[in-house]
A = this chain, B = another copy of it.
Amino acid sequence: MSLLVVGSVAFDSIHTPTAERERVLGGSAVYFSYAASFFTPVRLVGVVGEDWPQEATQMLKSRNIDTSGLQVKPGGKTFFWKGRYMPNMNDRETLEVDLNVFGEFDPVLPQPFIDTPFVFLANAAPTVQMKVLSQTKNPKIVFADTMDLWIRTQHAPLLELFSKIDGLVLNDSEAKLLTEEENLITAGRAIQRLGPKYVVVKKGEHGAIFFEPDGISVLPAFPTSRVVDPTGAGDSFAGGMMGYLAAAGNTDPLTLRRALAYGTLVASYNVEDFSLDRMKEIDRSHLDQRFQQYQAMLQL
């Protein structure tokens, strides 16, 4: 089944302790769709300025990503983010953010996108996420991402969003901020009480915790020593997870756990190079091979 993602499309400038890259492709919807495209066709909705290269759109199209929902604003500039990672490669500081055309993003779903069964609302203001949701027709399952900024400044719209989605994906620090709970298990359950049946708490190098109505699973990250650039890890995780789910077309407990595992594995490749570079080098067979290693490692 197909999968809709609405989110940011961006240029990133990234400084790590050992290397840097200027104005590489990024944004939550870009990482998400590329990751999901290993599994299923993707429909992307976003906005860019006239500085966005046509080749980038072509590259996405070549991955079976439908870009007919990608608005190009004449005279506008694409969202730009510049950040620097600390030596632990987990913490980072934002050096520059220019929202540009993403600041007035008014998502419009092309008619053929409206009845997409699997929907992911990537990180954006909850009011923007709600606008997307109001244009969809009977989605089978809707997941959303959020961030500390909206938790702090848009609490009421966020709670309204939570009452309308099936699943929420967020970081450990965001889960603690949202619930004022230090224990992540308690925090995840508290978030479920706010609406989402499913909650995924991402812990970066420590994996993810998955809250279902009937239980909790914890999956570790895939052990890798090659962490070149963590940018987009969370979005490629979500893309892999939703892509796998959409391809499977169901939400059985085992399918859900495998979806989380594939999300974990796509993210483990993504961090091995800047931007989409590492993901561009692999295909589904690499993911399946790493899945077998991962499965074996967790077999008890």
The reply to whether the CB of A182 lies closer than 8 angstroms to some CB of chain B is yes
The reply to whether the CB of A154 lies closer than 8 angstroms to some CB of chain B is no
Closest residue on chain B to residue A205 by CB atoms: B184
Alpha-carbon gap, A227 to B88, bound state (A)? 27
Most chain B CB atoms below 10 A, which of A185, A219, A220: A220
Alpha-carbon gap, A295 to B186, bound state (A)? 22
Q: Are A182 and B223 in contact (CB under 8 A)?
A: no
Q: Are A218 and B218 in contact (CB under 8 A)?
A: no
Q: Quick one: which of A101-129 are within 8 Å of B by CB?
A: none
Interface string of A176-195 (1 = CB under 8 A from B): 00000011111001000000
- Name A's interface SS: mixed
Alpha-carbon gap, A185 to B221, bound state (A)? 12
Q: Quick one: which of A201-227 are within 8 Å of B by CB?
A: 203, 205-207, 209, 215-225, 227
Q: Quick one: which of A147-189 are within 8 Å of B by CB?
A: 182-186, 189
Q: Are A189 and B220 in contact (CB under 8 A)?
A: no
Closest residue on chain B to residue A220 by CB atoms: B218
Interface residues of A (CB under 8 A from B): 87-89, 182-186, 189, 203, 205-207, 209, 215-225, 227, 254, 257-258, 261, 291, 294-295, 297-300
